[in-house]
Chains A and B, each alone.
Chain A
Amino acid sequence: MVQRAIEKAGIPTIIVAALPPVVRQTGTPRAVAPLVPMGANMGAPHNVEQQTQILTAALENLVGIQTPGKIVPLPYEYIAKI
């Protein structure tokens, strides 16, 4: 909802989503979906390399995605030990 509002205000946005079906349903303009649990969307704690990969991929897809509503899966995975 907020992403759509920012987009409506005239700023391109991308969302990093742990739950891609949810953002599809709510009408995201652009999304990337790494293989992460909700609560670590940007990568594992203190994993600088992974966080950088996810943020970099998000930025590249902000520019790269040309089709509204497209969700790009990312190959970065973090399985939280509970």
Chain B
Amino acid sequence: MTIVKGLQSEIFVPITPPSVFTPVTKPLKDMVIALATAAGVHCKSDKRFNLAGDFTWRKIPDKTPSDDLMVSHGGYDNSDVNKDINCMFAIDRLHELAKKGFIKGCAPTHVGFMGGGGDVEKFTNETGPEIGEFLKSEGVDGVVMSAG
């Protein structure tokens, strides 16, 4: 095959980054699951996100009653999630599945941040790795995210 280096498409072609993949090694019933959401979920007592763009993140203790959670996010229609936080952060459903033994348990702390753009560099190189290390230190076996 002839390979010509340096050729470039004349039309815009999106570039998908190389894949990252950590295989699952346990069955669900042995996994501790954390939730991580880009929907701007946080405790009512916590600092709101800056709706104009915010790369900080919030810890959400597993024991927090879902009524004590709220959303601050400037990038989507919040009306459903204001009625029921489980629309984006299905914490009550996760507790029910843990109680049934479908999963081993819930992580002691879950994660909320405000996605939908912002400082992508910061999210990729600071916020993301920080959240990853934090969840790792909690002994989490798997993460269910809601975003996009």
How far is the CB of A71 from the nearest CB of chain B, in Å? 10
B93 x A55 contact (CB < 8 A):
yes
Select from chain B the residue with minimum beta-carbon distance to A29: B21
Restricting to B90-145, which residues have a CB under 8 Å from any CB of A? Answer: 90, 92-94, 96-97, 102-103, 113, 115, 120, 123-124, 127-129, 131-133, 135-136, 140-145
* B contacts with A: majority SS: mixed
B87 x A43 contact (CB < 8 A):
yes
Q: Inside 8 A of B141's CB, which chain A residues have their CB?
A: 11-12
**Contact size range, B:** 35 or more
Q: Footprint of A on B, CB under 8 Å? A: 14, 16-24, 27-28, 33, 36, 38-39, 76-81, 83-84, 86-90, 92-94, 96-97, 102-103, 113, 115, 120, 123-124, 127-129, 131-133, 135-136, 140-148
What are the nearest 6 A-B pairs in CB distance?
A: A5-B128, A9-B132, A45-B84, A68-B19, A68-B21, A27-B17
Chain A to chain B contacts (Cβ below 8 Å), 23 pairs: A2-B36, A6-B36, A6-B143, A8-B129, A9-B132, A9-B133, A12-B142, A17-B148, A18-B148, A29-B20, A31-B148, A38-B77, A39-B77, A41-B148, A42-B86, A42-B87, A51-B86, A52-B93, A52-B96, A52-B97, A55-B90, A59-B33, A59-B97
